[in-house]
Amino acid sequence: MSNRVNEAIQTHYARPDLGSAILKALEKAGKDLGHLTLEDLAPIDAFHIRGRAATLELARAAGLDATQRVLDVGSGVGGTSRCLAKTFGCRVTGIDLTDGYCRAAAMLCEKVGLTDLVDYRQGDATSLPFDDGAFDVVWTEHAAMNIADKPRLYREMHRVLKPGGTLAIHDILAGPTTPVLFPVPWARTPDTSFLVQPDELRGLIEAAGFTVSDWADTTEAARAWFVSLAENIRKEGLPTLGFHVLLGADFQTMAQNQRRNLQEGRIVLAQIVARKGEH
């Protein structure tokens, strides 16, 4: 990916002292920083549509268990990786382009006592710093929207998977209506947003060597979730704990746009499981 786009993406997500901002918000919400739980962190760290419920749904569809080594591509502040490690006992490595997210993720891991199962690397998903066949599962939730070179992204995911390994995806795709209304949680302007339509995504996954075994359109559930989130923000303002801690005050506008994007068919959601061949 071009350095200019990478820099723009990092600028969108980066904020100074993200770790302390998260801890401050947790403290303000009355959480005990000495005894944090995954439930305490969920309003901030399950940074994708439908939060933890969507993560657990995809994990069950992908058949996760404690024997597996998982790579979480676009791991953010680590909500998904911690949830998977804690719920299924699997070993998870997260990779994210934004260094501040990796640092905050590692700090939160330490706070909830999961450092033996989870670690983080800063890096580019289109050039993964891992050996061929290093993982049983490659997982990604809401990361591909920021990645322009999708053929390379899915080829890299295929490369680092063991033969017979699983690709698990929960992503935002282009809907039948255009254009997307910006700003949205993944991009303030169209320059760093790269959505593909569902049939394009299927083609990309298959071209990389995968066989799709499970494809669910989860747009309806996403729509209901975002309508209620946006409505709460409209009525009561931003809660103490929420995604605005990561994205700043304009999350209020992003949430209203995202509601419209979902309601007007500008974006759709998919949950996908695909397999790499045995040979």
Task: Tell me the pLDDT tens digit for each residue of 10-43.
Answer: 888 877 789 999 999 999 999 999 999 999 999 9
Q: Which domains does the chain have, with CATH numbers?
A: 3-179+192-219+269-276 (3.40.50.150)
Task: Report the mean per-residue pLDDT for the chain.
Answer: 94
Distance CA 31, CA 203 (A): 45
Q: Prior bond to 179 cis, omega within 30?
A: yes
Q: Are 79 and 42 a contacting pair, CB within 8 Å?
A: yes
Q: Are 247 and 214 a contacting pair, CB within 8 Å?
A: no
Q: Are 124 and 153 a contacting pair, CB within 8 Å?
A: no
Q: What is the pTM of this model?
A: 0.95
Residue 139 tokens, joined = 């997982």
pLDDT over 60 (residue 149): yes
Task: Tell me the pLDDT tens digit for each residue of 161-215.
Answer: 999 999 999 999 999 999 999 999 999 999 999 999 999 999 999 999 999 999 9
Encoded amino acid at 97, one letter: L
Sign of CA dihedral 60, 62, 64, 70: negative
Q: Which helix (H) or strand (E) holds 213?
A: strand 210-217
pLDDT over 90, % of the chain: 79
What pLDDT does residue 39 have? 93
Chain position carrying tokens 């933890």: 52
> What are the start-end ranges of the H helices in the chain?
3-13, 18-28, 38-45, 51-62, 79-88, 99-111, 150-160, 198-207, 219-236, 244-247, 251-263
pLDDT over 70 (residue 114): yes
What pLDDT does residue 1 have? 55
